Amino acid sequence: MEELHLLRHEVALLTRKLAREQAGRQHAEQLLESKARELYELNQQLSEALHSLKQHEIQLVQQEKLASIGQLAAGVAHEINTPAGYAMCNLEMLQQYLQDLVAYQNALAEQSNCDKEQLTALQEQFHVYSITQDLPELLTETQEGMQRIATIVRELRSFARQGGDDKQWMVLDELLEEALHLTASQIKYHVQLVTNFNCKQPFFCAPSKLSQVFVNLIVNAGQAMKGEGVLTIESEEDEHSVTLRFIDTGVGIAAENLLKIFDPFFTTKPIGQGTGLGLSISQDIVRQHNGQMSVSSKLGVGTVFTICLPKHEADKAEGE
């Protein structure tokens, strides 16, 4: 009887222990489920915050791009106005030539039986020879002017469009040339430009974003050279990477500012002349291409910005 009593006692203890363990397990499961719900909600909030941050980043990039366009606007207007001006003059001249040719044709019709001397006199009277000599050149100049305007507008539209992360194969030297066309008015009157382009192979990149980097660096270099100066732009490539250098003979950057130059909103320009986002956004764009952007400078000597972009991402895209 005593053994049976002890056995019942042990069974009761085990039952109570199992009940406690089951209750503890249920509590733990409830707690785990609650934490899982909290984690899911936090993950949702984090996703929404990241999406919002990405949208703000896109807006900031676009605002900086529009600010750059604002800086370029007057120069671009001048670049368009010049070819438009001589195209307009050529059209006026063509109109006068057309009137002269019509008058010549009418006079010729009235003298249907004129001899060679009379014909020569009529041609001289209405400047037929000079018109026929001048017409091809006028038309060529007008076509070149219209093509120049079309090129500027196309490049400006390409630069202004809101570029996402869509990438494509582009020749970096061509992007550099486009950036130089857009910024020509900023540098051509006081800066001697030297180029040494050697990136001829297509590179997988976001062209609109890299164009923004190039335009920003060229404009900054032009502003750093308040008087006359030299801007050298170099590009080179090997089997692993491409390297771009923007070398100016401007005023240089103080050592204490070199540590902050890529910080958002940092600028040494007067109020209203810079957002302080250009170099920060440029560095982010280079990093999005898994590249690096560095700067070296010496006061009174000049500044060198170097961009190194790896090719492995491009090689991966080609394999896909």
CATH number at residue 261: 3.30.565.10
Which pLDDT score, from 0 to 100, does residue 153 have? 72
Same domain (yes/no): 120, 227:
no
Q: Which two tokens stand for residue 298?
A: 């010496």
Tell me how far apart the alpha carbons of residues 19 and 78 are, in angstroms, rounded to a whole number. Answer: 88
Domain boundary among the residues 109, 135, 160 is at 160
With 0-12 CB in 10 A as exposed, 13-18 as middle and 19+ as buried, what is 310? Answer: middle
Question: Residue 62's pLDDT is what?
Answer: 61
Collect the ranges in the chain with pLDDT lower than 70: 1-9, 11-12, 48-79, 102, 105, 108-119, 122-123, 126, 154-165, 265-266, 268-276, 313-320
Q: Assess whether 187 and 320 both reside in one domain.
A: yes
pLDDT, one tens digit per residue, over 172-229 is 999 999 889 888 877 878 889 999 999 988 999 988 889 889 988 998 898 888 778 9
Under a CB-based contact definition with an 8 Å cutoff, are residues 59 and 146 in contact?
A: no
Q: Are residues 99 and 193 in the same domain?
A: no
Assess if residue 66 is contained within a domain: no
| Cα 183–chain centre separation | 12
Q: Are 114 and 108 a contacting pair, CB within 8 Å? A: yes
Same domain? For 150 and 271 the reply is no
Tell me, yes or no, whether 319 and 178 share the same domain: yes
Q: Tell me, what's the pLDDT at 319?
A: 45
| Structure confidence by residue, pLDDT tens digits, 7-20 | 666 766 777 777 77
Q: Is 3 a member of any domain?
A: no
| Residue that is last in its domain, among 160, 183, 203 | 160
Q: Of 144, 161, 149, 237, nearest to 196 (Cα)? A: 237
Which tokens belong to 309? 């972009």
Whether 220 is covered by a domain: the verdict is: yes
Q: Are residues 149 and 255 in the same domain?
A: no
Kindly state whether residue 137 falls inside one of the protein's structural domains: yes
Same domain, 131 and 250: no
Answer yes or no: is 14 within a domain: no
Overall size of the chain counted in residues = 320
pLDDT computed for residue 126 by the predictor: 67
Question: Are 175 and 156 members of one domain?
Answer: no
Q: Residue 181 has what pLDDT?
A: 84
Q: Which of 109, 126, 160 is the last residue of a domain?
A: 160
Q: Both 223 and 128 in a single domain?
A: no
Distance CA 8, CA 164 (A): 75
Q: Is there a single domain that holds both residue 138 and residue 195?
A: no
Asked whether residue 29 is assigned to any structural domain, the reply reads: no
Q: In terms of domains, do 260 and 319 share one?
A: yes
Hey, what are 215's tokens? 């335009």
d(CA 164, CA 209): 8
* Residue 117 domain-assigned (yes or no): yes
CA 264 to CA 275: how far, in whole Å? Answer: 9
Please indicate, yes or no, whether residues 311 and 215 belong to a single structural domain of this protein: yes
The pLDDT value given to residue 295: 92
In a domain, residue 39? The reply is: no
* pLDDT at residue 57, rounded to an integer: 59
145: containing domain: 81-160
Say whether pTM exceeds 0.85.
no
DSSP letters for the chain? -HHHHHHHHHHHHHHHHHHHHHHHHHHHHHHHHHHHHHHHHHHHHHHHHHHHHHHHHHHHHHHHHHHHHHHHHHHHHHHHHHHHHHHHHHHHHHHHHHHHHHHHHHHHHHTTT--HHHHHHHHHHTTHHHHHHHHHHHHHHHHHHHHHHHHHHHHHHHHHS---S--EEEEHHHHHHHHHHHTHHHHTTTEEEEEEE---SEEEE-HHHHHHHHHHHHHHHHHH-SSSEEEEEEEEE-SSEEEEEEEE-SS---HHHHTTTTSTT---SPTTS--S-HHHHHHHHHHHTT-EEEEEEETTTEEEEEEEEESHHHHHHHH-
* Residue among 86, 81, 207 at smallest CA distance from 155: 207
CA-based end-to-end distance of the chain: 81
Give the pLDDT score at 196: 94
Number of domains within the chain: 2
Classify each residue of 66-90 as buried b or exposed e, where b means 16 or more C-beta atoms within 10 Å of its C-beta: eebeebbeebbeebbeebeeebeeb
